[in-house]
Amino acid sequence: MSSVAPAAGGVGVLPRRKFELVLAGMPRRRAAEKRFRLYGQIAIGLGLAFLVILFASIILNGYTAFWQTHIRLDVTLDAARIDPQGNRDPEALRRADYNELIRDQLRAMFPDVSGRRDRLALYGLVSNGASFDLRDRVLANPELVGQKIALWVPADDDIDMLMKGNVDRSVPESDRRLKDNQLAWVDKLAAEGRLQQRFNADFFTRGDSRDAELAGIWGAAVGSLLTLMVTLALSFPLGVAAAVYLEEFAPRNRWTDLIEVNINNLAAVPSIVFGLLGLAVFINFFGLPRSAPLVGGLVLTLMTLPTIIIASRAALKSVPPSIREGALGIGASPMQVMIYHVVPLALPGMLTGTIIGMAQALGETAPLLMIGMVAFIADIPKGIFDPATALPVQIYLWADSPERAFVERTSAAIIVLLAFLAVMNAVAVVLRRRFERRW
């Protein structure tokens, strides 16, 4: 600097020297600029690479769960055995021994299997749920009794894994879950065209099961939906009301400052803490039922409220003051200004915040653990008081199951959860695009 200062009087020379100095430094600055951009690109590239690896591994692991190996059995629905009275009484039809019918059919297909142990192995080819499927079909359509029907029943999960190539036939028989004779039967069935990979509709319509081939995601999905409904019904009105009051009406003093700091802090509290709170307040004090979506929804409301309040306040802040002043100027009351002018304009932002809060709530497991929603629940919940689980809980439970076939179910459940999240986030983006106003 000192060399430049004394020459300030000389007009023509110095700018030229300065210019050269700047020029000389240019390549370095350009390179630095390039490097700076490159760092950003590397960061994005790495992030994308991890995302691709994650998605690829989940999808590759999970897509096979959308197909399930079925076995075709030609079952004779012997009227004398299912309905001895012949009056098609639903209660009698319900109590008939369908398992025996299926076993008879299996024995007829493999007449040379003898011995108790071998027979049990033979019956094991077919899922435990097959007899209940058959029962439900007969109950739905009693005219089937007396006919011979072709029935596609789910194969046992071990067979399913074999057909999907997840079982290594080369390991010694003692180390395999499927023995040599079972492999031979499966090969015979496959050769006769009695084995088929069919779309696994059960996965989307059934509740949880300990038999992997019968386990479905629907129970957990309904549980998640009910929980989110409770959360939305409570957190949206509460959050918006709180935001409107704090942003537009509340006086600025120590109390409102304190409230504001606390709301911001709450947004960062680990979710398990809300679970403990829910257990202490909603279950132990108010005596609400354990494992119910109602309690889950209440707990998740506590968790999403700060997110919604913060997003709603940001949306209110972005409405220009001229709108408020204009409305006030033509004689609207402050409440009318809010209801007819400011809130409608801020609504897209509020909804976006709400949906993002909901998406967060959809992925939570930790608080649900404390209030008993991490449980084995096979029946599909019918209301907010029935015991229920949620999608992420189902993933957690399946990941912990010993049976091999649950590995692909776990990934498939993750795919379903991700699809839900993607849809919710897409809705948030569309809302913002369509209704957002710029000033």
Interface contacts to other proteins, rule CB under 8 A: 116, 120, 124, 128-129, 132, 167-168, 171, 174-177, 209-211, 233-234, 237, 241, 283, 286-292, 294, 339, 343, 372, 374-379, 384-385, 387, 399-404, 407
Output the smallest distance, CB 109 to other proteins, in A: 22
Output the smallest distance, CB 384 to other proteins, in A: 7
Contact present, 194 and 200 (Cβ < 8 Å):
no
Residue 240 tokens, joined: 């918006």
Amino acid at 146: G
The distance between the two most distant Cα atoms of the chain, rounded to a whole number of Å, is 121
Output the smallest distance, CB 30 to other proteins, in A: 48
- 209 vs 224, which CB is nearer to other proteins? 209
Residue 382 tokens, joined: 């019918």
Nearest to 295 by CA among 369, 237, 240: 369
- 311 vs 407, which CB is nearer to other proteins? 407
- 188 vs 290, which CB is nearer to other proteins? 290
Contacts of 304 (CB under 8 A, 6+ apart): 231, 235, 239, 354, 357, 358, 360, 361
Output the smallest distance, CB 307 to other proteins, in A: 19
- 375 vs 418, which CB is nearer to other proteins? 375
Distance separating alpha carbons of residues 137 and 152, to the nearest angstrom: 12
Burial of 181 (0-12, 13-18, 19+ CB in 10 A): middle
Q: What are phi and psi of 175, to 5 degrees?
A: -95, 0
Output the smallest distance, CB 254 to other proteins, in A: 29
Output the smallest distance, CB 323 to other proteins, in A: 18
Amino acid at 288: L
In three-state form (DSSP H/G/I as H, E/B as E, the rest C), the secondary structure along 138-186 is HHHCHHHCCCEEEEEEEECHHHHHHHCCCCCCCCCHHHCCCCHHHHHHH
Contact present, 365 and 192 (Cβ < 8 Å):
no
- 91 vs 143, which CB is nearer to other proteins? 91
- 246 vs 421, which CB is nearer to other proteins? 246
Contact present, 98 and 138 (Cβ < 8 Å):
yes
- 74 vs 89, which CB is nearer to other proteins? 89
Distance separating alpha carbons of residues 409 and 411, to the nearest angstrom: 5
Output the smallest distance, CB 129 to other proteins, in A: 8
- 378 vs 426, which CB is nearer to other proteins? 378
